[in-house]
Structure 1
Amino acid sequence: MNSLLKLFILFYLMSSSLFAETMNIKVNQSDLSLPFWSSKLLNYGGVIIIRGGEQAHWSILLASLAKQLAQNGWSVALLNCKEDKSISWIDQLPNAISALRQENNKRIVIVHYGDQLNVTLDYFNKPQAKLVNGIVFLSAYDLKSKFDKPIHLRFPVFDIAGQFDYDVVLQQRANREAEIKAPNYLMIEMPGAQHDYQYSQQLLLAFVHGWMAKLPEFIPQPPPILVSYVEPVGLTKKLNVEAKSEAESYIYHQPLLSEIN
């Protein structure tokens, strides 16, 4: 009975996640389409969920999370879940952020799940990185690269791991809060959860949605107003004459010592 129930749940999640829309972006003159779920009813903002790893793989967990976030007011795109060997996911990230920003999303949030966390951190540690409102580390770790320079992020961080997560996840996150400088850093360990959050998806949704919805909204800054003023020729000439007259008066009509005394 339990096996049949698991198969039914798996089939439901797979079938429901395949009906995603697409978000089209252009990277290096190549047109790409990302799996996408548009927000329903409300509009809290846009989310980009990155499935870390060298190879792109579809993720039932992330597709399910994306669908549930869309039902709660978020527009969600997945990165590195659709195989494209020509362009890496980190090269797609800036254009994906721009695409969501162009849709007037008042918040843009990054969710990084799994491996290659330092690739994401390296991008956002650069001054020229696209600005987002926050980032979620979801059972995030990095097997290969070691970040050997200070990490300064300009937005809040929410660091989530399962109670029974991979050892590498729990070990790396133990030191991460001290290594990353951010306006706000929140770390939680989800009770009973494993790395795939198979039986904890509703709790995961509640944590992620609740934190993201409280992030400050993006306030667009108006472009600076440049004001140029050209003085009339006559006025300029008059001012120059007056200035010259005052200068001559100061030079040639200094007070005498007797006048001072």
Structure 2
Amino acid sequence: MKQVISIVLLFFALFSTCLADDLEIKVNQKAVKLPYWPASKPNYGAVIIVRGGDPVQWSEPMAHLAQLLAQNGWSTVLLNSNPEIDSPWLNQLPEAISTLRQNKNKRIVLIHYGNQLNTTLDYFSKPQGKTINALVLLSAYDEKESSVKPDSLRFPIFDIEGQFDYDMIKDQFTARKTLFKSAAYTAMKIPGADNEYNYTQELLASFLTGWMLRIPESTVAAPPINAKSLQSYIEPIYWTDSQLVAINHLFLQKDILKLEPLAQK
């Protein structure tokens, strides 16, 4: 029976992978292809789903969620889901963010699902970390206590747990609700949902889409003005021109002096 279940899960994983496109990034000068679902029009932004934990393995629930988000206008890419990629997902993250920005996505949201939450929080709490527009904690937890301060995270956070989630996840979810006392923090329990959000994927996607649409779009600041690029439209007066102006002015003064005696007569 276990072999049959394994074969069925493998079939669904291969089927979902075939439906996905590739988002190609470079990690340490090496090309890496990530499972990617481009958004249907209109395109509201991009979502990066990190399936936290070891070992690296395919997540059918997250692949299904990615498909639903793409259908709702959000280009979605999966990290830590392809065992053939040998680089850690944290090394892929900044390159994935940069590539999605280059693809003109004005909103980028990261969804952290499952274990290794501290890795994500630590990365985005540092000033040198690539920026995103929002963070979603989906049944997120870590086996160690986090030292990250809430005010070091510079974006809105949507914290989600399933009604029938694991006890560790529920405990850490409750603790975060007390710790993150900010208007930018929202917590929600999905009714009827287990840890893999079976039979509640559409409901989850609806809540996510509604929340993400309220995130402000990124604006590109105007580049600083380069003084060298400014050109004057007034012709410069060179030394020879200045000399001619002075000579003409001298002759004009002499003509005026000659006319003054005539005017007195």
Q: TM-score range by the shorter chain?
A: 0.7 to 0.9
Shift of 1:159: 0.3
Matching residue's letter, 2:147: D
Q: Structure 1-normalised TM-score?
A: 0.79
Partner-residue secondary structure (3-state), 1:186: strand
- Seen in structure 2, the aligned counterparts of structure 1 residues 54 and 9 have a Cα distance that, compared at 3 Å, is closer
Q: Could you list the per-position Cα deviations for residues 115-159 of structure 1 after superposition, in whole angstroms to 9, with x for gaps in the alignment?
A: 00110000000011111110110110012x321242321110000
Pairs aligned (count): 227
2:71 is aligned with 1:40: no
- Seen in structure 2, the aligned counterparts of structure 1 residues 87 and 11 have a Cα distance that, compared at 3 Å, is closer
In the alignment, is the contact (CA less than 8 A) between 1:47 and 1:108 conserved in 2?
yes
Matching residue's letter, 2:40: K
What is the 5 A alignment of 1:14-33?
Answer: 15-33=15-33
Partner-residue secondary structure (3-state), 2:204: helix
- The structure richer in strand per residue is 1
Partner-residue secondary structure (3-state), 1:148: coil
Name structure 1 gaps, 5 residues minimum: 1-6, 235-261
Match of 1:219 in 2: 219
In the alignment, is the contact (CA less than 8 A) between 2:47 and 2:75 conserved in 1?
yes
What is the 5 A alignment of 1:62-211?
Answer: 62-84=62-84, 86-143=86-143, 145-151=144-150, 152-180=152-180, 184-211=184-211
Partner-residue secondary structure (3-state), 1:22: strand
Identity of paired residues, percent?
Answer: 48
Matching residue's letter, 2:226: L
Report the RMSD for the aligned CA atoms in angstroms.
Answer: 2.7
Matching residue's letter, 1:62: M
Matching residue's letter, 1:150: K
- Seen in structure 2, the aligned counterparts of structure 1 residues 198 and 122 have a Cα distance that, compared at 3 Å, is same
Shift of 1:226: 3.4
- Seen in structure 2, the aligned counterparts of structure 1 residues 100 and 223 have a Cα distance that, compared at 3 Å, is same
Shift of 1:93: 0.3
Give the Cα–Cα distance (whole angstroms) in 1 for the partners of residues 31 and 182 of structure 2.
Answer: 34
- Seen in structure 2, the aligned counterparts of structure 1 residues 181 and 226 have a Cα distance that, compared at 3 Å, is farther
Shift of 1:179: 3.3
Q: Structure 2-normalised TM-score?
A: 0.78
In the alignment, is the contact (CA less than 8 A) between 2:113 and 2:139 conserved in 1?
yes
Name structure 2 gaps, 5 residues minimum: 1-6, 231-235, 239-265
Partner-residue secondary structure (3-state), 1:18: helix
Q: Could you list the per-position Cα deviations for residues 52-95 of structure 1 after superposition, in whole angstroms to 9, with x for gaps in the alignment?
A: 00211101101001111111111110000001463110111000
Instruction: Return the index of the structure with the highest Cα Rg.
Output: 2
Match of 2:52 in 1: 52
Give the Cα–Cα distance (whole angstroms) in 2 for the partners of residues 150 and 74 of structure 1.
Answer: 29
In the alignment, is the contact (CA less than 8 A) between 1:153 and 1:181 conserved in 2?
no
Partner-residue secondary structure (3-state), 1:194: coil
Matching residue's letter, 1:224: P
Give the Cα–Cα distance (whole angstroms) in 2 for the partners of residues 43 and 147 of structure 1.
Answer: 35
